[in-house]
């Protein structure tokens, strides 16, 4: 996972690790099913018999270890992997710094918002990876991820997340908007610890809710804002949702 998410040389080069063997996951296949075992020749020779090429007179110099799987050596996955690795080789030194800067900036804004709402949720990042953690004592914290999903951001609890070169500035804004909205709504409704006044202020300032509207729940049990009904004293009219 950290192979080509953190730089052209992977985590091995970033931390100067002289690894004998490495494994690489789906990112090297551009999302296609693939896994790669790489390493020093003296260890991998036991797998493929040493250097040889298909189609000429060369043959494995040692015994070959049998291994198989559903997508082993799949032609499409290999073709995509070659294209991805070629792109990384040619443009990697410019791609990764920009990607990491984008992820760091997103995390910085999310952390500032968490601090503003005095929440104990955490938003961690490294290179192009980011991870949102909910305190184990927060029984309803998992709703944060459901709320973000309903806002169009595919995210799962206990799973790492990644920005890619294809995520635009607008995409990052949508991720942050979904995160902030979810966190503020859970705090306002007492489902996560935090400053309810600050959360309510954020939600009011990011909608067309009239000044003086009160936060409550509608007949469906959903959070909603209400104003007093001018034609029916003591009654209230729903004017919008957070």
Whether 49 maps to a domain, the answer reads yes
Checking if the pLDDT of 231 tops 60, the result is: yes
Domain-located, residue 202: no
What is the maximal distance between C-alpha atoms in the chain?
Answer: 94
**What are the CA-CA distances from residue 226 to residues 11, 121, 212, 239, 240 (Å)?**
53, 29, 9, 5, 7
Answer whether residue 3 is part of any domain: no
Identify whether residues 58 and 168 lie together within a single domain. Answer: yes
* Residue 39 pLDDT greater than 80, yes or no: yes
Residue 41 and residue 161 in one domain:
yes
- Same-domain status, 176 and 98: yes
Residue 133 makes CB contacts below 8 A (sequence gap 6+) with: 121, 122, 123, 124
184 with 218, same domain: the answer is no
Going by C-alpha positions, the residue among 131, 121, 133, 127 that lies closest to residue 104 is 127
pLDDT, tens digit (0-9, with 9 covering 90-100), for 81-116: 999 999 999 998 899 999 999 999 999 999 999 999
- Residue 234 and residue 211 share a domain: yes
108-157: per-residue pLDDT in tens?
A: 999 999 999 999 999 999 999 999 999 999 999 999 999 999 999 999 99
In the chain, pLDDT over 90 holds for what percent of residues?
A: 54
The whole-angstrom separation of Cα 73 and Cα 18 is: 27
Q: Of 17-21, 29-33, 160-164, which gets the smallest average pLDDT?
A: 29-33
Same domain, 72 and 23: yes
> How does pLDDT run across 57-68, given as a tens digit for each residue?
888 887 888 877
Q: How many domains does the chain have?
A: 2
Q: What CATH number should be reported for the domain holding residue 75?
A: 3.90.1150
Instruction: Answer yes or no: do 109 and 143 share one domain.
Output: yes
Supply the range of the domain harboring residue 223.
Answer: 207-240
Q: Would you say residue 145 lies in a domain?
A: yes
Residue 182 to residues 189, 201, 202, 242: CA-CA distances in angstroms?
A: 11, 14, 11, 10
In a shared domain, residues 178 and 232 = no
Does residue 172 sit in the same domain as residue 70? Answer: yes
204-223: pLDDT as tens digits: 775 566 667 788 888 888 77
If asked whether residues 87 and 43 sit together in one domain, one would say: yes
Q: Identify the pLDDT of residue 209.
A: 65
187 and 235 housed in the same domain: no
Instruction: Say which residue the tokens 């309510």 belong to.
Output: 200
- Which residue matches tokens 């990644």? 162
- Distance, CA of 242 to CA of 240 (rounded, Å): 7
Same domain for 19 and 41? yes
Contacts of 126 (CB under 8 A, 6+ apart): 6
């Amino acid at each position: 996972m950290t192979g080509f998410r953190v730089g052209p040389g992977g985590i091995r080069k970033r931390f100067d690790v002289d690894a004998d063997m490495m494994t690489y996951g789906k990112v090297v296949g551009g999302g296609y099913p693939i896994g790669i075992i790489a390493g020093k020749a003296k260890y991998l020779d036991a797998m493929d018999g040493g250097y040889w090429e298909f189609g000429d007179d060369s043959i494995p110099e040692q015994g070959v270890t049998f291994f198989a799987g559903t997508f082993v050596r799949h032609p499409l996955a290999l073709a995509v992997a070659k294209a991805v690795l070629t792109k990384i080789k040619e443009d990697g030194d410019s791609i990764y710094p920009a990607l990491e800067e984008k992820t760091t900036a997103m995390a910085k804004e999310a952390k500032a918002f968490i601090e503003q709402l005095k929440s104990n949720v955490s938003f961690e990042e490294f290179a192009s990876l980011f991870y949102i953690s909910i305190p184990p004592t927060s029984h309803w914290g998992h709703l944060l991820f459901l709320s973000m999903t309903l806002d169009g951001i595919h995210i799962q609890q206990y799973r790492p997340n990644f920005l890619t070169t294809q995520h635009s500035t607008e995409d990052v804004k949508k991720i942050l908007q979904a995160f902030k909205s979810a966190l503020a709504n859970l705090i306002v409704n007492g489902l996560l610890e935090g400053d309810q006044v600050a959360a309510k202020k954020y939600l009011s300032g990011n909608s067309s809710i009239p000044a003086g509207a009160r936060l409550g729940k509608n007949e469906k049990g959903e959070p909603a804002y209400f104003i007093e009904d001018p034609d029916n004293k003591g009654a209230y009219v729903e004017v919008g949702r957070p």
